[in-house]
Chains A and B, each alone.
Chain A
Amino acid sequence: MRDDLKTDSTIPFNTTIPFTWPAVRKGVLASLAYVPGYLVFGAAVGTLAAQKGLSLGEAVLMSTIVCAAAAQMVALELWTSDWTLAHILAVAGVTAMVNARFILSGASLRPWLSPMRAGFVYPVLGVLTDGAWAASIRYHADGGRDFGFFFGSTVFLWLAWSLASVPGYLLGALVHDPKAYALDLIVPLMFTATVTPILARTGKYLAFVVAGGVAFAASVLLPGYWFIVIGALAGAAAGAFAPVRP
């Protein structure tokens, strides 16, 4: 029996979706699978931060309040010691571009989380990472509705990411040749593991194929990370306008 659908006395809020501790625990446990990947990225970001002259405090601060691996790496590539307003705007600009996918990730959570009080949803959304989003969407696709899962996975992976840059910063390059161990592929591999059961359950094959094809074409034609947003919108549009199956 699934524990996330039980109505029990631990629901402390007047909402139509539950918020229970068993679900928080379940969210943390499901997120453990992402920790190795976060440690690898954390080591890479920490190493880069050290090379660019950030203090350990600045590196951890950035990971804690920005908590977006790819955006941090791209922004650090632009890092300087001689700051001008134009430089800060450039850093903010690439951050927005790399993180634009979160606009869509957040939107995809709305149907599930909208009954929850905004005061609970927004602070957690503010530290959402790809791993927590992926784990939460998988849970939702499996029928889960408990806010605790989203809360547990998001907060746990946020804390894990905050600390993940420390070993890399201190030890320099922990992994000398990430390519030899295929660690540069950890994002597509981990996402594949997450989406496989989601696809099998929801049957959104058309959206998947259209999004993948359009994103690949966009990645060949355009610079940067826009391909994720363009492909995802194309896939969602295909899903929206396709004939509804009986």
Chain B
Amino acid sequence: MIDLQSGNGALWAIAAMTLVTIATRVGGYWLLGRFPLTPVLKRGLESLPAAIFAASIVPLALRAGPAGWVGVACVAVTMLITRREIWALAAGLVAAAAVRMLGF
């Protein structure tokens, strides 16, 4: 039986977190191997990366206020011009920090 009172509770919690996390990481990949790849499923999968990015970026940026969407816009424009992540990230951070400094 699991002995939680002898100071091992944290380790059991970490073990539970690990099991759950690995299940999510391999689960989706595994599941797709069990279904035939129909044209509709294939188009959905091809759209999935862009959808995951959008579903992460848009709420986080909008809820952060002007600093969020100004930063995201600066990253996108810099990326289109330079095509280098590091410059785009720097531009976005500077722009967002500047907007915050101006008090928005």
A84: which of B4, B22, B58 is its contact (CB, 8 Å)? B4
* B4: min CB distance to chain A, Å: 4
Bound-complex Cα distance A233 to B57 (A): 15
Indicate with 1 or 0, residue by residue over A95-115, a CB within 8 angstroms of chain B CB atoms: 110011111111111110110
Q: Is the CB of A187 within 8 A of B13?
A: no
For the complex, is A171 an interface residue (Cβ under 8 Å from B)? no
Which chain A residue shows the least CB distance to B16?
A: A92
Q: Are A236 and B44 in contact (CB under 8 A)?
A: yes
Of B27, B40, B53, B54, which is in contact with the most chain A CB atoms at under 10 Å from its CB? B54
B17 touches A207 (CB 8 A): no
Q: Which of A104, A181, A213 makes the CB contact (< 8 A) with B97?
A: A181
A182 at the interface (CB under 8 A from B): yes
**How long is the Cα–Cα vector from A36 to B44 in the complex, in angstroms?**
32
Tell whether A21 is near chain B: CB-to-CB under 8 Å: no
B80 to chain A: which residues have CB within 8 Å? 196, 200
Contacts of B13 in A (CB 8 A): 75, 79, 83, 87-88, 91-92
A62 at the interface (CB under 8 A from B): yes
What residue in chain B is nearest A32 (Cβ atoms)? B86
Question: What is the CA–CA distance of A83 and B15 in the complex, to the nearest angstrom?
Answer: 13
On whether the beta carbons of B97 and A188 are closer than 8 Å, the reply is no
Asked if B61 contacts A188 (CB within 8 A), the reply is yes
B64 near A184 (CB under 8 angstroms)?
yes
In the complex, the answer to whether B72 meets A188 with C-beta atoms within 8 Å is yes
Name the CB-closest residue of B to A192.
Answer: B75
Residue contact A62 to B9, C-beta cutoff 8 Å: no
- Which residues 143-197 of A have a CB within 8 angstroms of B? 179-197
Chain B residue numbers with a CB within 8 Å of A11 are none
- A75, A185, A189 — which one has the most chain B CB atoms within 10 A of its CB? A189
Q: Which of B30, B51, B63, B86 contacts A234 (CB 8 A)?
A: B51
Secondary structure dominating the interface of A? helix
A182 in contact with B96 given A188-B60, A192-B57 (CB within 8 Å): yes
**When the two chains form the complex, which single residue of A182, A193, A200 contacts B67, counting CB atoms closer than 8 Å?**
A182
Size of interface on A: residues with Cβ below 8 Å to B: 107
Specify which chain A residues have a CB less than 8 angstroms from the CB of B14 in the assembled complex. Answer: 58, 61-62, 65-66
Contact between A126 and B50, CB atoms less than 8 A apart: no
With A106-B26, A189-B92: A227-B11 Cβ-Cβ less than 8 Å? no
User: B57 to A191, Cβ gap below 8 A?
Assistant: yes
Contact A189/B93 with A88-B9, A207-B50, A239-B47 known, Cβ cut-off 8 Å: yes
CA separation between A178 and B23, bound complex, in Å? 32
Extra pairs beyond A65-B18, A99-B24, A185-B60 (20, CB < 8 Å): A67-B21, A82-B9, A85-B4, A88-B12, A92-B17, A92-B20, A106-B30, A108-B48, A110-B28, A184-B64, A190-B89, A191-B53, A192-B57, A193-B92, A195-B57, A212-B57, A216-B58, A227-B59, A239-B47, A239-B50
Between-chain CB contacts (< 8 Å), 23 pairs: A58-B14, A88-B12, A105-B28, A106-B29, A107-B48, A108-B48, A111-B37, A111-B42, A126-B25, A185-B67, A188-B64, A188-B71, A192-B61, A193-B85, A193-B89, A204-B46, A207-B48, A207-B51, A214-B55, A231-B54, A240-B41, A240-B44, A242-B43
